[in-house]
Amino acid sequence: MRGQGSDGLLGRPLAGHVLGAAAVAAGYYATAQLGEALKFPHAPVSALWFPNALLMGALLLAPRRYWWAYLLAVVPAHLMAQMPLADVPLARILIQYTMNVATALIGAYALTSRAPVSLRFDRVLPAWRLVFFGGLLAPFITSVLLAAAFLTTNLDQGFWLTTGARTLTNSFAILTLVPLMVHAAERLRAPRRPRNLAHVIEGVLLTIALAVAGMAALLAPPITGVAAAAILFLPLPMLLWAAARFGVAGSAAALLLLGALTICGVLEGSGPFAAQANAHETLSVVVFLVITAVPLLLLAAALEERRDLESAHAASEALHGAVLASIQDQVVILDREGRVIDANDSWRQLREHIPAAPFVKLQIGDDFLQHCRETAALGVSAATQLGTSIGEVIAGQAAHHRIEFAAHSARGIAWFEVTIEPLRRSDGGAVLVWSDATHRKQAEANERAQQQQLVHLGRAAVLGELSGAFAHELTQPLTSILGNAEAALQLLSGPDVDLREIRSMVRDIVADDVRAAEVIQRLRAMLTRGEISREAVDLANVIKDVLDLARVDLHTRHVAVDVEFDPYLPLVLGDRIQLQQVVLNLVVNACEAMSSTDVQRRRIHLNARFDSASCEVVCEIRDHGTGIGREDLERIFQPFVTTKTLGLGMGLAICRTIIEAHGGRLWAKNLPEGGASFSFTARLGS
Amino acid sequence: MANRQPLIAVIDDEESVRLALARMLRASSYDVSIYRNGEDFLESLKTSMPDCAVLDFQMPGLTGRDVQRALTVAKLHLPVIIVTAHDQPSLREKVLADGAVAYFTKPLRRDILIAAVNQAIQRAPLVPGTSDPVT
């Protein structure tokens, strides 16, 4: 707010304001002299009294904390202007000074009380405030007080004449000079682009035309009657011209010129006001000027505000268009009915690249939703989804939507991502932003493939750790097969062939072969590089399969296993092989963590339970090993971080990747009784 | 009185292997007694003494090496042939150093096993080594 610490329009230190106050004092003196010179013969006041308006304008432009400098500065100017007048008593001079200062103070205070930092009168509301507070209220109050003081001190008996004449002359001066001063200060503070030559020429022509019309109307030989009234309208077109083309400042300047011509006419005894013979009727000149000034200033302010609004609107539209044009993604704006109301150039160019895409043919005014319905009827599922999503966003049923779909393009399959946001305006609508997601989808596919490769390598690695156990599992049936076969051959080469014994041997050979095949089958299943599937999986079976795989390894390491399942463990959603990989990895880790544990305490507890709070299945593997260092509890899930002497440190990182890809969590903690616990969650399968 | 056939003890926790080894030996006219673990075998020595023991190294409870040490401690001088599904060079050296007649990795050929058993029965020292790998 001005006057509350800001430096006002003329922001400068005290020294600058002292100089400014001196200039205002000089101006006060000069305009007071001018006012005295232009005093009407029959009126107690001057027709053009600018000192008060000058002081009010200066106060408006200065911070309130420096107002005292201006008020003090005009004291000598006022005395110098009034003292030489022989018939003016000192009391009258003091009363006049007090009321002049009060006029400026009341107006400036009222106009700066709720004004923005940038005080401008080229808006309707500030112009009204200028008219009411500055142009009418401040001069009227002080004029009433001045006239009352004169009456009380017997200085003047014409109370209403004094009140009316002073109010009107100050009003006209304030309504013209103050806007000009504020406008000039504004131009000094923030210089605008220079007016173009045509505008300058227009201003010169307007001045000439107004001067000519004014002289014709106001300086012509005295006219009376209807002709006098009619001729007063002669300058009106030029005044309207000024209001329409040059704003409040131009109108104020035109009014000043009109006022000057009017006063000149009266003083020269010409024009329609020259016939006035007494003081009351002389005031009609000032009434004419004020009545002309008020609507003209308000009209100029209204036109300037509208012009600025239109300019701002045009700038906003241009910015809007520029922003839309700068966006590489395709932007389409729909109204609440789903019709296309705008689209950017990228959208228009899209049809050249992807002519087969069903939506790119739409143009401004087309019904997007209807097109979605028609396309959906042709079996394009993306159209159904798109139409439904747009409808929900427009209806406010969804905050936004994001969908993806593929379309054939000249370069093959192109992927699009469409985000649908509500159009934030009272009329509603939606904004569709289309972006080419082909590269992202390809990158995602590559990432998935790499991740799948990594997971597969991790699986091969953990199976590699069990290679000794698998060798043992295969060796046992092979040993049996070989033994039985060679024994049978030996028996067959003898004289007495015991066919029953040989049949028994062959039967065992078959059984051992099947057993060996099952081991190979389990390994093959784990090592198969298949697509990741999402199916309902019984986690209990997964754990049992893993324990079958690791049976020999557990046996070799002398590790006992406790298993505990919820009796009604729900199925989880996931990839069976990947979940097996996770459990196997955690079991092998648990075994390795217990390598230095007493054989009697080497025990793994596996449990799987349904957690009703999170509606997930939680699987936990606990060991009696050495536990995990506190600082490693989270680090161990990072790639290439390992606490083992052998191994790449990828196992747990891969496990976490797998579990998170399944929408679950994997974490570790140390157990109070010693050892560590690894737990993971899995979403339900239905 | 007819000559008694040599008695070979086969100790292996895997039933199918145990049975297959016994059949190989019986096909070569040996008497065979089979045991599922080392404890049962050591217990049986109170009543009968075999001529040779074919001992699986990796078993729950007493391992083949534990049984071998128990025999040494008891000074029974029973020839022992160690068989295992886990070939470990260091293990081979240890069991041979402890007096095992032979160390074989599974699967093993009948002629290799029979040759080892025969030599063990004759108390002839066997050149340290294993059977040829089965191909």
Which pLDDT score, from 0 to 100, does residue A507 have?
A: 93
* B130 falls within a domain: no
pLDDT tens readout for residues A477-526: 999 999 999 999 998 988 888 889 899 999 999 999 998 988 888 777 77
pLDDT at A83 over 60: yes
Average pLDDT over residues A532-536: 81
ipTM: 0.86
Residue A6 pLDDT grade (very low, low, confident, very high; cuts 50, 70, 90): very low
Which pLDDT score, from 0 to 100, does residue B134 have?
A: 32
Which residues in chain B are closer than 8 Å to A479, comparing Cβ atoms? 17, 20-21, 85, 106-108
Which pLDDT score, from 0 to 100, does residue A577 have?
A: 86
pLDDT at A221 over 50: yes
Find the distance separating the first CA and the last CA of chain A, reported in whole Å.
64
Average pLDDT over residues A154-183: 86
Which residues in chain B are closer than 8 Å to A501, comparing Cβ atoms? 23
Average pLDDT over residues B17-45: 94
Which residues in chain B are closer than 8 Å to A471, comparing Cβ atoms? 85-86
Which pLDDT score, from 0 to 100, does residue A121 have?
A: 86
Q: Does A553 touch chain B (CB under 8 A)?
A: no
CATH number of the domain within which B46 lies:
3.40.50.2300
Of B21, B27, B107, the CB nearest to A475: B107
Which pLDDT score, from 0 to 100, does residue A602 have?
A: 92
* B84 falls within a domain: yes
pLDDT tens readout for residues A261-278: 888 887 777 777 766 555
Q: Does A532 touch chain B (CB under 8 A)?
A: no
Contact B20 A508 (CB under 8 A): yes
Which residues in chain A are closer than 8 Å to B58, comparing Cβ atoms? 472, 556
Q: Which of B30, B84, B106 to mutate to test the interface with A (most CBs of A within 10 A)?
A: B106
Contact B20 A477 (CB under 8 A): no
* B63 falls within a domain: yes
Residue A1 pLDDT grade (very low, low, confident, very high; cuts 50, 70, 90): very low
pLDDT tens readout for residues A302-357: 999 998 899 999 998 888 888 888 888 888 899 999 999 888 888 777 766 665 56
Q: Does A491 touch chain B (CB under 8 A)?
A: yes
DSSP class of A66: G
pTM: 0.52
Which pLDDT score, from 0 to 100, does residue A495 have?
A: 83
pLDDT at B69 over 50: yes
Higher pLDDT, A611 or B3: A611
Chain mean pLDDT for chain B = 85
Which burial class, exposed, middle or buried, applies to A323 when counting CB atoms under 10 A from its CB (0-12, 13-18, 19+)? exposed
Contact A487 B26 (CB under 8 A): yes
- The SS3 call for residue A567 is coil
DSSP string, B29-43: T-EEEEESSHHHHHH
H or E stretch at A140: helix A138-152
* B77 falls within a domain: yes
Contact B23 A472 (CB under 8 A): no
Which pLDDT score, from 0 to 100, does residue A648 have?
A: 55
Q: Does A479 touch chain B (CB under 8 A)?
A: yes
Pick the range with the lowest mean pLDDT from A43-57, A211-225, A617-631, A642-656: A642-656
Average pLDDT over residues A79-105: 83
* B132 falls within a domain: no
* B82 falls within a domain: yes
Number of domains in chain B: 1
Which residues in chain A are closer than 8 Å to B14, comparing Cβ atoms? 476, 480
Higher pLDDT, A154 or B74: B74
Chain mean pLDDT for chain A = 84
* B134 falls within a domain: no
pLDDT tens readout for residues A652-674: 888 888 898 888 999 999 999 88
CB A385 within 8 A of CB A372: no
Which pLDDT score, from 0 to 100, does residue A42 have?
A: 61
Q: Does A278 touch chain B (CB under 8 A)?
A: no
Residues of B with CB under 8 A from a CB of A: 14, 16-17, 19-21, 23-24, 26-28, 58, 60, 85-86, 105-110, 134
Residue B133 pLDDT grade (very low, low, confident, very high; cuts 50, 70, 90): very low
Of B19, B86, B134, the CB nearest to A482: B134
Q: What is the dihedral of CA A184, A185, A189, A192, to 10 degrees?
A: -20
Contact A511 B16 (CB under 8 A): yes
pLDDT at B129 over 60: no
Contact A483 B107 (CB under 8 A): yes
d(CA A323, CA A315): 12
pLDDT tens readout for residues A388-417: 999 999 999 989 999 888 877 666 788 888
* Sequence-distant (≥ 6) Cβ neighbours of residue B39 within 8 angstroms: B61, B62
Higher pLDDT, A230 or A668: A668
- Domain residues for B80? 7-122
Which pLDDT score, from 0 to 100, does residue B131 have?
A: 38
- Pairing assessment for the beta strands B7-11 and B31-35 based on DSSP bridges: parallel
Is the alpha carbon torsion for A379, A380, A382, A388 positive or negative? negative
* B26 falls within a domain: yes
